[in-house]
Amino acid sequence: MDSDHEVAVAGFERLARERARLVTPLPIVFEVYKWLLYEAGPEPR
């Protein structure tokens, strides 16, 4: 892990601990979803 990852994890843990709302526009949600499907989806057979 690098320091950026550690900072990101700490930030997400704080958001969860404080029950913060994270408002994200739907186009961003869809773009991240598509990226995750492409990058972390099942391997082709």
Q: What is the pLDDT of residues 5-43, one digit of tens each?
A: 999 999 999 999 999 998 999 999 999 999 988 888 777
Q: How many domains does the chain have?
A: 1
| Residue 42: domain span | 21-45
Domain-located, residue 27: yes
Q: What is the pLDDT of residue 29?
A: 95
Q: Which long-range contacts (CB under 8 A, 24 or more apart) does 38-45 make?
A: none
Q: What is the pLDDT of residue 45?
A: 63
Distance between start and end Cα atoms, the chain: 31
pLDDT higher than threshold 90 for residue 2? no
pTM of the entire predicted model: 0.51
Domain-located, residue 5: no
43 phi-psi bin (left φ>0, alpha ψ -120 to 50, beta other): beta
3-state secondary structure of 37: helix
Q: What is the pLDDT of residue 44?
A: 66
Cα-based angle 37, 39, 22 (whole degrees, multiple of 5) = 65
